[in-house]
């Protein structure tokens, strides 16, 4: 699978050079070449882009302003003739910063960094779990971490990441959607109770006023969308509702 790239630069020579570098790199695909940020904006509204090579200094709408305006940012590699912009570039989580004139070696290093990040994200999208569903592997801090399902208290959504809370008070942050993790977890053991929360049903201590309580410090809200599912689970194990002695 190739990384779909967009080259953006108001200098014709620089734009042609980056475009040529993309074309000669086996794991990259040139989706478009734009002479300004407005063209890039239009292109991104029409085509899915994985990575942008963009000049920071462009008239009217700079590359930095353009990147900051993006909600869902692809991988960003800034190109510029001014070294002083490097720190500002990394503040917006740019993969790399290329100082003009750009050699193919430096370009390839930046592209490889993005490739490694993409592979890390792709690996996270496919969570490996045993058929017995006792544990799973997720990627965090550039390594695979084994998590025993019995150790999970709950999972919280944090934008494009999820945070897994464990019974030993440790947490693991990994880049996954709630939908992906929910589909991989055994439904008899885990339940989504809120847009932002999945809980381990075996770890629930109390349920009170539409809240799940694990201990005195952890209360998970139950939204209206999911409360019927939780109630069905509680009813299944509830003792006493139909007890005539009560």
Give a yes or no: residue 244 inside a domain. no
* Whether 136 and 109 share a structural domain: no
Verify that 37 and 69 share a domain, yes or no: yes
DSSP 35: S
The total number of structural domains in the chain stands at 2
- Domain boundary among the residues 75, 98, 124 is at 124
**Domain match, 183 and 116 both:** no
Range of weakest confidence among 97-101, 123-127, 179-183, 195-199: 123-127
CATH number at 139 reads: 2.40.50.1020
- Tell me: do 133 and 109 sit in the same domain: no
pLDDT tens digits, one per residue of 45-86? 999 999 999 999 898 899 999 999 988 889 999 998 877 665
Say yes or no: 17 and 52 in one domain. Answer: yes
* Length in residues, the chain: 246
- pLDDT score recorded for residue 120: 76
pLDDT at 85: 63
CATH number, domain of 51, equals 3.40.50.2300
Same domain for 21 and 113? yes
The answer to the question of residue 246 being in a domain is no
Q: Is 146 helix (H, G, I), strand (E, B) or coil?
A: strand
Q: 205 pLDDT band (50/70/90 cuts)?
A: confident
Pairing of strands 51-55, 3-8: parallel
Instruction: Please state which of the ranges 75-79, 90-94, 146-150, 190-194 shows the lowest mean pLDDT.
Output: 90-94
Query: Quick one: how far is CA 245 from the chain centroid?
Result: 53
* 83 and 148, same domain (yes or no): no
Per-residue pLDDT reduced to its tens digit, 10-57: 999 999 999 999 999 999 999 999 999 999 999 999 999 999 999 998
Return d(Cα 181, Cα 177) in angstroms, integer. Answer: 7
| Domain shared by 153 and 224, yes or no | yes
What global pTM score does this model have? Answer: 0.53
Alpha-carbon distance of 130 to 195, in angstroms, equals 27
pLDDT in tens, 110-160: 999 999 888 877 766 555 444 345 888 888 888 889 999 999 999 999 988
Q: How many CB atoms lie within 10 A of CB 77?
A: 23
pLDDT at 53: 97
* Domain region containing 157: 129-237
pLDDT confidence bin for 187, thresholds 50/70/90: confident
60 and 110 belong to one structural domain: yes
Picking from 102, 124, 146, the residue at the C-terminal end of a domain is 124
pLDDT of 131 reads: 36
Last residue of some domain: 91, 124, 157?
124
Tell me how far apart the terminal alpha carbons of the chain are, to the nearest angstrom: 64
Give the pLDDT of residue 206.
87
39 and 140 fall within a common domain:
no
């Amino acid at each position: 699978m190739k990384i779909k790239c967009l080259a953006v630069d108001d200098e014709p020579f620089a734009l042609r050079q980056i475009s040529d570098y993309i074309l000669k790199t086996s794991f990259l695909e040139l989706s478009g070449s734009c002479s300004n940020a407005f063209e890039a904006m239009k292109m991104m509204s029409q085509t899915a882009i994985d990575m942008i090579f963009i000049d920071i200094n462009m008239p009217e709408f700079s590359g930095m302003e353009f990147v900051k305006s993006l909600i869902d940012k692809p991988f960003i590699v800034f190109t510029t003739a001014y070294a002083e912009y490097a720190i500002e570039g990394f503040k917006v989580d740019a993969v790399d910063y290329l100082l003009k004139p750009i050699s193919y070696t430096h370009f390839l290093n930046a592209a490889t960094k993005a490739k490694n990040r993409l592979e890390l994200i792709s690996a996270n999208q496919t969570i490996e779990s045993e058929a017995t569903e006792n544990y799973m592997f997720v990627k965090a801090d550039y390594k695979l971490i084994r998590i025993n399902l019995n150790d999970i208290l709950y999972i919280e959504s944090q934008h494009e990441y999820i945070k897994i809370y464990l019974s030993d008070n440790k947490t693991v942050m990994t880049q996954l959607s709630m939908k992906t993790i929910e589909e991989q977890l055994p439904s008899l053991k885990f339940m989504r109770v809120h847009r932002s929360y999945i809980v381990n049903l075996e770890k629930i201590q109390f349920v009170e006023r539409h809240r799940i309580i694990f201990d005195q410090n952890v209360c998970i809200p139950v939204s209206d969308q999911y409360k019927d599912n939780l109630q069905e689970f509680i009813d299944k194990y509830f003792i006493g509702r139909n007890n005539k002695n009560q």
